[in-house]
Amino acid sequence: MAVVPATRRSVAVPQPRRTPATRERRPQLRVVDAPASRRLSLTAITTLAVGAVFAVLFGLVVCHTLLLQNQQRLDRISADVTEAQAKYQSLRLQVAQLQSPQRIIDAATHKLGMVPPDGTTYLTPAAGAASDTAGATQGASTSDPSATSSTDDVAAWPTVKPYLGAAP
């Protein structure tokens, strides 16, 4: 071994022997600047954060768009329901007016030429009634319809029923 004189306070450290085979096995090492690797990871993190914020905002826009579309659909349906209810009420009013007794009387008198009766006569059939009994019953019916007895009505029913036909 050769002795190397020391220069300015440096201590000589014995170096291992290098052979050509050992040089090929050892990789070349280099010094990497630490802040550059941090900048790279900081850039990646910032890009991911901005991408995540963009994705969240895009998702919110899509949700609001769907909400607005559904709200417009509900508004149209609500307007249709309100219109249908108004039409239904109008038709109910029209039916009530057409069914009113005063309108029927006016249509009967003006369009059909009918006249109101002078009086109302109620007739009740009697079993084996003679013409004089019918006259007395008719006279009693015009003044007081409840003057006939209910037992006469029940007894007369089987004889009157065949003449009524399908009517009850």
Q: What contacts 145, CB < 8 A, 6 or more positions away?
A: 122
- Give the C-alpha separation, 47 to 41, whole Å: 10
Do the domain assignments include residue 67?
yes
Q: Tell me: pLDDT of 85 over 90.
A: yes
More reliable by pLDDT, 148 or 12: 12
Do the domain assignments include residue 78?
yes
Do the domain assignments include residue 83?
yes
Per-residue model confidence (pLDDT) at position 156: 75
Q: Indicate the number of domains in the chain.
A: 1
Do the domain assignments include residue 72?
yes
Do the domain assignments include residue 155?
no
Q: Tell me: pLDDT of 60 over 90.
A: yes
Compute the mean pLDDT over every residue in the chain, rounded to the nearest whole number: 78
Per-residue model confidence (pLDDT) at position 125: 84
Dump pLDDT digits (tens) for 8-22: 665 666 776 666 555
Structural domain boundaries, residue 84:
36-101
More reliable by pLDDT, 157 or 29: 29
Burial (Cβ within 10 Å: 0-12, 13-18, ≥19) of residue 125: middle
Do the domain assignments include residue 143?
no
Contact assessment for residue 141 and residue 121, using Cβ atoms and an 8 Å cutoff = yes
Do the domain assignments include residue 48?
yes
- Give me the percent of the chain exceeding a pLDDT of 70: 60
How many C-beta neighbours within 10 Å does residue 126 have? 19
